[in-house]
Amino acid sequence: MLPSIAAKLIDLRKNADREAMSTILEAARKEARKDLKRNDSTNSSDSEDREPTRNSANAQNPLVPNPLPLIEPNSPDWLKYVIQSPKDSQPYKDLVATLALTRTCTAIGTTPAARQIINVYTYFGDLFRIDVQLQLARLNDMAVPALIEAQYHDSKMVRTWAKKRLDMMGRSIPSEAVGLTNNQAVADVLRAYGRAREVDAVRAIVSFANSDRLQVRQAAREAIGQIGEPAHWQLRDAYEQLMAEKPAKSWDWQRTAKELFAVYDRARLQEVYTTMDEAIALANQGNHKEAIVLFDRVLATAPMFERRGEMVPTYLARAEALATTDKSTALGLLRRAIAIDPSGEHANQVRSNLAVFEAEELADNGFLDTTLIDKAIELDPANARAHALRTRADTQIEQTETTWKRYAAAISIGVVALAAMVFTALLPKRTRPADKRDKSRTAKTPDAAPIRRE
String of DSSP letters for 55-96:
-HHHHT-TTS--PPPSS-TTS--HHHHHTTS--SSHHHHHHH
Whether the pLDDT of residue 346 is over 50: the answer is yes
Counting Cβ atoms within 10 Å, is residue 295 exposed (0-12), middle (13-18) or buried (19+)? buried
Confidence of residue 419 (pLDDT cuts 50, 70, 90): confident
Better-scored residue on pLDDT, 183 or 422: 183
pLDDT at residue number 47 = 42
Confidence of residue 266 (pLDDT cuts 50, 70, 90): confident
Better-scored residue on pLDDT, 126 or 359: 126
Given phi > 0 = left and psi -120 to 50 = alpha, else beta, which region is 286? Answer: left
Residue ranges covered by each domain of the chain: 1-40+64-172, 197-267, 270-395
Condensed to tens digits (0 to 9), the pLDDT of residues 180-209 reads 989 999 999 999 999 999 999 999 999 999
Confidence of residue 403 (pLDDT cuts 50, 70, 90): low
pLDDT at residue number 399 = 59
Whether the pLDDT of residue 59 is over 80: the answer is no
Whether the pLDDT of residue 42 is over 90: the answer is no
pLDDT at residue number 46 = 47
CA neighbor of 101 nearest in space, from 178, 25, 1, 27: 1
Q: Are 346 and 352 in contact (CB under 8 A)?
A: no
pLDDT at residue number 51 = 40
The full DSSP string for 256-312 is HHHHHHHHHHHHHTHHHHHHHHHHHHHHHTT-HHHHHHHHHHHHHH-TT-TTGGGGH
Class at the top of the CATH hierarchy for domain 270-395:
mainly alpha
pLDDT at residue number 416 = 77
Mean pLDDT (whole number) for 74-96: 87
- Average confidence score pLDDT of the chain: 83
Given phi > 0 = left and psi -120 to 50 = alpha, else beta, which region is 431? Answer: beta
Q: For 72-76, 123-127, 353-357, 412-416, which range has the lowest pLDDT when averaged over its residues?
A: 72-76
% of the chain with per-residue pLDDT over 90: 45
pLDDT at residue number 49 = 43
pLDDT at residue number 358 = 82
Whether the pLDDT of residue 9 is over 50: the answer is yes
Better-scored residue on pLDDT, 46 or 57: 46
Whether the pLDDT of residue 48 is over 60: the answer is no
